[in-house]
Amino acid sequence: MHVQLDAEEARGGALRRFYADELGFPYVRGGATNPVFEVGTTAIEFRPVALGQPFYHFALRVPRNRFAAARVWLAARTDLLPDEESGETTFRFDNWNADACYAQDPCGNIVELIAHQELPEESPESPAFSADELLGLCELGLVGADTRKMASALVTLGIPLWDGTVDEPGRLAFMGDREGVLILSPEGRGWMPTGRAAERHGVEALVSGERDAVATLPGTPHRITVSSAIDSGLP
């Protein structure tokens, strides 16, 4: 999987320090303003923009037996974001049988670590967690005015509705499956856990699928390409 996200041009160096130096993600290529990092089977590329301060929500998947260690690892490197009401920094999603925690990067991106207990991947138990245990990006927020039309375009690519709904205003729609979800959000809806209003900023994503296809989601700059040639590893 390869994901391209916009980032404030002046923050490229700060992103490199955060992801490469502090978190330990392999720095693949790119200059000071357009770094590309490897996270498990995903390449995350930040494209510099001169105007605006774009931000996104995305989640990185943790082996199901390593969430506690991953949470300690992240908390040692940056502040965890608390629940606005309880102050807790661990979030339990019973309906998904998953646990998560959140942080922010220097561009204000909401970065989630999530472990799905229904998925089989585990890694050897050790005292310290490391970035190379992360399995890859498994959630990515796509913001637009009409999530129903966005969902219809994804269905044509072979990406179905997995959870949520497009039939109720203000709700999220989760397209894909546990291993990889595109989260469709209306503009202005608050992202967990900060409540910051979702903004529409362009996304380019190359994902695996049964056939080759491409679509630009209606009313958005989001372009999703599906390739049958992608199995595992970086495209």
Produce one character per residue of 60-74: b if its CB has 16 or more CB atoms within 10 Å, e if not. Answer: bbbbbebbebbbebb
Within a domain: 217: no
pLDDT at 232: 43
Tell me how many degrees the CA angle 184-229-135 measures, rounded to the nearest 5.
60
Run of H or E residues at 177: strand 173-177
Q: What is the pLDDT of residues 38-60, one digit of tens each?
A: 999 999 999 999 889 999 999 99
The set of residues, in sequence order, having a beta carbon less than 8 Å from that of 185 and lying 6+ positions away, is 57, 141, 142, 143, 144, 147, 172, 191, 198
Determine the residue type at 206. L
Q: What is the pLDDT of residues 106-129, one digit of tens each?
A: 999 999 999 999 999 999 988 899
pLDDT at 185: 98
Within a domain: 72: yes
Q: What is the pLDDT of residues 81-97, one digit of tens each?
A: 999 889 999 999 999 99
Tokens in use for 183?
Answer: 């989260």
Of 25-29, 117-121, 209-213, 224-228, the least confident: 25-29
Q: What number of other Cβ atoms are within 10 A of residue 96's Cβ?
A: 16
Mean pLDDT for all residues in the chain: 93
Within a domain: 204: no
- Give the domain extent around 185: 2-199
Within a domain: 210: no
Residue 112: give its domain's CATH number: 3.10.180.10
pTM: 0.94
The answer, yes or no, to whether residue 21 has pLDDT greater than 80, is yes
Q: State how far the alpha carbon of 191 is from the alpha carbons of 79, 111, 143, in Å.
A: 17, 11, 11
Strand order in the sheet with 213-216: 27-29, 36-39, 42-49, 2-8, 203-208, 223-227, 213-216
How many whole angstroms separate alpha carbon 186 and alpha carbon 223?
A: 17
The answer, yes or no, to whether residue 32 has pLDDT greater than 80, is no
- Pairing mode of beta strands 180-186, 136-144: parallel
Average pLDDT over residues 10-25: 93
Domain count, the chain: 1
What length is written for the chain? 235
Q: How confident is the model at residue 229 (pLDDT cuts 50, 70, 90)?
A: confident
